Amino acid sequence: MTKENPVFENLMKDFNSELSHSGVNGERVAQRLYELSEIGYTQIGGVTRPGLSDEEKSAKKLVKNWMVEAGLKVSEDGAGNVVGRLEGRDHTAKAIASGSHVDSVPNGGNFDGPLGVLSALEVVEAWKETGYTPDKPYEVVIFTDEEGSRFNSGLTGSRAMTGDITQQEIDQLRDYNDETLEQVLEHYGSSLQQFREAKRDLSELELFVEVHIEQGKKLEETGQPVGIVSGIAGPAWTELEFIGEAGHAGNTPMIGRKDPLVAASEFIAKIAEFPGQVSDTAVATVGKVEVSPNGINVIPGKVTLHADIRDIQEDTRNELLDRIIDEAKTIAEARGIQLNVQQNTKILPVPIAQELQSELAESLVKYSITPTYIPSGAGHDAMILGRHLPVAMLFVRSKEGISHNPKEWSSLNDCVSGIHVLKDFIETRMKR
């Protein structure tokens, strides 16, 4: 344990040991969160584990070892998705699955993704310690490249598993080193053919349930450790390329310039006006800008923006996307700038069935937690699977709602409370 990384000590500092019961072990969860936090560790306390990177692969390897020790049969498909399976009493029954991801955004936090994976695995550990055998098969899943920091197009693993990634998308994917998906997969130890073969027969699954940090403040406001996700917003990731004329910053008169950075800046300033025009839950963000040639004394020739547009309703999300693209066209035309638009990701929002929300609420009440219902503005692997089979989600309280940041934090008390709720929910579903 490095002195620079205090994750384990901070988790254990205020932990209520009485929450370790029924086979669930809070100290084990803390130790595993710490060990994962060491992979891709950054000096300000975060992690950098891009999808299909050596760091993500190392994190998966560590969890796979834990899966084997817990008695799971482990497999990995050509997209890098890992599945640990525990057979139930009825081998012919459809499986219940739970999990998340272990990749991160650049300098991200230690809970977004890993908490869902470790929660799903801790259920198995608890069953092992208490001698419980589930009635149906149970699977712990790690999805590849959920965050999308590698290709600017996320949920890669779950889309490969469901067959929801098209050949056109595969051909267009380029990472931050301008490598194709095929090149990245070869370095990872797979191939494009194996990636295509990752599509799974989803009729083998009855249900997928994901645990995730909230990425918001609703649970803090209500004083509850765990909440129920009522629906998941669908993101539309759009790449907008403004192309002008590069020139010398000193010798080119201001009149007549075709500066794509000026056009892009005007667009960025305007984009914040549109979400409120279509919905109370819609959001739009420009989170990445690339300027070329990016010289201090050079008028840029090209600026590429990556816009993240989302809402929990498909019609308002699409209306917002159309308005934003129309605004970009208007600005580009007025300034004599060429505009190229490419849709990298467009995912349907997913509602959570009322029946599943009610069953989660029953599990919460068993642990004296008042049910709080929260729409998820962020995309998740559960959203992709939710287009093909029933899905459910639990949120665990996150300090100040911070995520995608080294300051991201959920107390061990809340994490373990989430595991107990997950375990009870799964055991109840096993009996149906």
Query: How much is the pLDDT for 1?
Result: 41
Report the topology of domain 235-346.
Alpha-Beta Plaits (3.30.70)
Question: According to CATH, what is the number of the domain 7-233+349-430?
Answer: 3.40.630.10
Is 78 within 8 Å of 193 (Cβ atoms)? yes
Model pTM score: 0.82
The DSSP H or E segment spanning 24 is none
Helical ranges in 206-353 per DSSP H: 218-222, 260-271, 275-278, 314-334
| Averaged confidence pLDDT in the chain | 95
Segment 259-268 shows an average pLDDT of: 98
Give pLDDT tens digits for 108-157: 999 999 999 999 999 999 999 999 999 999 999 999 999 999 998 889 99
What is the four-CA torsion angle of 350, 355, 357, 358, rounded to 10 degrees?
A: 170
Segment 36-59 shows an average pLDDT of: 96
Give pLDDT tens digits for 274-332: 999 999 888 999 999 999 999 999 999 999 999 999 988 899 999 999 999 999 999 99
Q: Where are the beta strands (DSSP E) in 19-63?
A: none
Give pLDDT tens digits for 70-95: 999 999 999 999 999 999 999 999 99
Give pLDDT tens digits for 342-378: 998 887 888 899 999 999 999 999 999 999 999 898 8
Is 170 within 8 Å of 181 (Cβ atoms)? yes
Strand partners, 309: 236, 284
CA distance 269 to 410: 34
Is 303 within 8 Å of 264 (Cβ atoms)? yes
pLDDT confidence band for 53 (50 / 70 / 90): very high
CA distance 301 to 297: 12
Helical ranges in 102-155 per DSSP H: 114-130
Q: Token match 């209500």: residue?
A: 222
141 CB burial (10 A radius; 0-12, 13-18, 19+): buried
Feature table: binding site for Zn(2+): 101, 112, 147, 212, 404
Q: Which of 280, 201, 207, 291 is nearest to 243 (CA)?
A: 291
Q: Which of 210, 195, 189 is nearest to 139 (CA)?
A: 210
Segment 171-194 shows an average pLDDT of: 95
Q: Where are the beta strands (DSSP E) in 61-137?
A: 73-76, 82-86, 95-101
Helix 26-37 crosses helix 114-130 at what angle (to 10 degrees)?
Answer: 140
Feature table: binding site: 101, 112, 147, 212, 404
Is 296 within 8 Å of 260 (Cβ atoms)? no
What is the four-CA torsion angle of 316, 377, 175, 247, rounded to 10 degrees?
A: 60
How far out from the chain centre does Cα 394 lie?
14
CA distance 118 to 108: 17
Residue spans of the domains in the chain: they are 7-233+349-430, 235-346
